Chain A
Amino acid sequence: MAAVAIDGKKVSGVPVFSAENEEEQANMATILSRVLEAVVHDMGNGVYIVVRH
């Protein structure tokens, strides 16, 4: 449904939310997961994806 990234260039095809640092990234991902009733997954390259299963 969405992605939260520090480096936005790594993501395309979904709405991307840019974060300044890891703490902000985690907070944004948490809020998105609550609002969208979805799960946050770590891609391992600094990108979190928010997926509704």
Chain B
Amino acid sequence: MSNVIWGIATGITVGTLARYLMMRRDVRQYPSYPHAVVNHLSLGFLAATLGAVAIPALAAEEYTAVTFLALAATQFREVRSMERQMLVALETSKLVPRGKDFIEGIARTFEARNYLVLFIALLTSGVSFWQGPVLGIIAGIAAAAFVRKFIGGKAIKDIAKVRAGELRFEKYNLFVEDIHIMNVGLKKTRKIYEERAKAVVLEPFDDNAREILANVGQRQAIAHDAASLLGIYRDVDTAEFTPLLRRNKDTGRIGMIILPLEPDTECLLQAVRHVPVLESAVAKPLASSAGRCASD
């Protein structure tokens, strides 16, 4: 087979495989099985194809091939926008919504992964074209492994200590330790809270973590993930059982209250620990001199 065929074939194969490996399908993440997975894989295949043909086309002095890459960028942006709109439209059917920040993160990740696949396929195709398919595949696998490590962000356990908390009522006000959560007006509701609710406290490790947990979108994501993993004791007409995360304004600690169907506290803590840190929530005050000056 000629270099061109090897280049394109290995680029498409490694690129599509890389997209498959980047996909995480569990009950809390997106996409859903099977149609959305097919959707993602198909777009990954297209991205891999575009990346795979670029180097051989340029080598054959077909410089207009570059315009296809620009077209790919436009298409990926449109697809990201469509995914965002779809996820926002589905929010009303969720008992505990994801929140716009989480959705934006998912849509952005979706777009970014297509670009990564394009570059992996381009690299594989280029190395295959010049050095042969074996080296090309090795280069592609190395790139895919590097990307897989690169796209894995932090989780809550990396930025905060997550522990069980004590909930209490002062008349009608619900507290998790010293953090006020909400005013629960009805006695029956307070009784249900006392019987079924679980409290979690998140203590940030440093000022960067404190600012991440202050982000409302990040807290909404924690509530959503915990509720989807453990089940939630609520329905559309019992808004008082929505999981809530509130902040201690002095220390930045977060108190969480949730009524899970699964009563195991350790499962709840594990669910909270593995919630991903949203890219849009990341803040680094300690990276600035003012932030370092202000930190204790």
**Which residues of A are in contact with B by a Cβ distance under 8 Å?**
26, 29-30, 33-35, 37-42, 44, 48-49, 52-53
- B211 contacts partner chain A, Cβ-Cβ < 8 Å: no
A42 touches B185 (CB 8 A): yes
A41 touches B187 (CB 8 A): no
A26 touches B171 (CB 8 A): no
Complex partner residue of A44 from B172, B238, B240, CB under 8 angstroms? B172
A29, A34, A40: which has the most chain B beta carbons within 10 Å? A40
Given contact pairs A26-B187, A29-B186, A37 touches B172 in the complex (Cβ within 8 A) = no
Chain B residues with a Cβ closer than 8 Å to the other chain, count: 16
Interface of A is mostly: mixed
B189 nearest in chain A by CB position: A40
Complexed CA–CA distance, A37 and B188 (Å): 17
**Which residues of B are in contact with A by a Cβ distance under 8 Å?**
171-172, 182-189, 236-240, 242
Give 18 pairs: A residue, B residue, CB < 8 Å, sorted on A. A29-B185, A30-B186, A33-B237, A33-B238, A33-B240, A34-B237, A37-B236, A38-B239, A39-B185, A39-B240, A40-B185, A41-B172, A41-B183, A42-B171, A42-B183, A42-B184, A44-B172, A48-B186
B223 CB → nearest A CB, Å: 13
Contacts of A41 in B (CB 8 A): 172, 182-185
Given contact pairs A29-B185, A30-B186, A44 touches B237 in the complex (Cβ within 8 A) = no
A34 touches B186 (CB 8 A): no
Complexed CA–CA distance, A51 and B237 (Å): 13
B173 nearest in chain A by CB position: A42
Contacts of B189 in A (CB 8 A): 40
A30 touches B188 (CB 8 A): yes
Complexed CA–CA distance, A48 and B172 (Å): 11
